[in-house]
Amino acid sequence: MSKTNLKPKPILLVSLFIILVIVFLIKDTLIQVVQAKPYIAIERVNFNKQLPNYKKTKVWGENPLELINIPFNSKLARLNLYQVYVGNQLVKEFYNYDRAVNYAINKTSASIKDKASNIVLWNNYKRYVLMEGDLYIHSLEEVLPTIEEGKKHENSYIIDQEENKLVWSNFNKSLIHSDDTKQGDVFLVNRQYQVSSNYSPQSSVNLADHTSKYIKVSRRDMYIDEGVLSPIKLMLKDAYYGGADKMLVISGYRSYQRQTSILNSRIKSLTPSLGLEEAKKKVATFVAIPGSSEHQVGLAVDFTTFRDMGVTQDFGNTIEGKWLNENSWKYGFIIRYTGDKMDITGIIDEPWHLRYVGIPHAEIMKRENLCLEEYLDNIKEYNKIEFEARDGNKYNIVYFESIYSEDLIRFLYEAKNIEALSGDGKGGVIITTID
């Protein structure tokens, strides 16, 4: 009896291969999707000179990181090549993902990369990972010791793997960061603390696009900071139904160049009667010099009434002026310049000029009769202010002397219920939390 030939025929091998390919292409359920942590590719980190939107990230001085999520595995995912690294050194390659994990799991500082995409699919680093460029340096379970280690390396940064956030970096501040704290709702703009000639709101909206029976503007280009839109709409609506129904917005954002033109025009008109130098002194008490105008930052709004169509101190005696004086703080606005604070602000009584500072700051300033300069000095002096607002909410307002303060980094990482984050315009940082 002859022996049976056990070698598979070529046609059978080809058939089996075709069947396997069809199964991979059709049966998604047969493919195990890799459940991996997101990986931050340093070339995709968008560093920026702007203060962050806290709702997007807890990192001060950076824009929100763009986290690269692991893509859905291709239908032929198991044909990929998985590279096992220990630290920065490639030690082994696998065609099977599970085998790669089993090999790497007991090794210190191991990670697995998909060779084709160079994306990290898995690692066993501790929570806080210290990187220098795209090189792994160290990892620890506590953030502060990791920061101390990071200080020994140039251009390093720390990733919190659990929260998928960049929590610290020592990138060259002169190149990437800015200590400019002229951002947020509470920052000071005056003759001492000016903004640059090219400063403009990070995002603005045209109030003229939102007119209604209670929102009236004097022209079609009434731009304001985007964050002011909702509170001013609510305030004007309540004013209208509260009897102050002749309110008219006549000024919002004003460029440095426009402010220069206004200042020069006023000086020119007074020069014949006062002389040039006296005209300059006089005008400086009611027209902000370019760079010191709150209109340039988009947080100031001027009002008048249909009865007047101009700005005069008589506005404070109108129904609309009285309503704003009594109620604007409820919406985060303050009457920025009052007669009793002229020795501090250098500006005459301007009942028509409102500045948005947000809640609860406006309520505190109203209750304590503080101008913005005084309020910021108080915050800096006491470092922390606890305040219960009229709506029953309890706020904590905390001051930090620098955006590079380690206390600030720790606070941002640990704090909960952050309501607002702002610079003070003088180098400091103000964070408002709500209990």
Hey, which residues are catalytic here? Answer: 350
Are 166 and 157 within 8 A, CB to CB? yes
Cα gap 382→397, rounded to integer Å: 10
Sheet holding 156-160, edge to edge: 135-140, 128-132, 156-160, 165-169
**Residues sharing a CB contact under 8 Å with residue 122, sequence separation 6 or more, in sequence order:** 34, 36, 37, 100, 101, 104, 111, 112
For 122, other C-beta atoms within 10 Å of its C-beta total 22
Is 239 in a helix, a strand, or coil? helix
Cα gap 414→230, rounded to integer Å: 29
Q: How many helices (H) and strands (E) does the chain have?
A: 11, 18
- CA 103 to chain CA centroid, nearest Å: 42
CA distance from start to end of the chain: 90
Cα gap 69→108, rounded to integer Å: 24
- CA 219 to chain CA centroid, nearest Å: 30
Return the closest-CA partner of residue 37 out of 112, 91, 144.
112
Cα gap 171→180, rounded to integer Å: 16
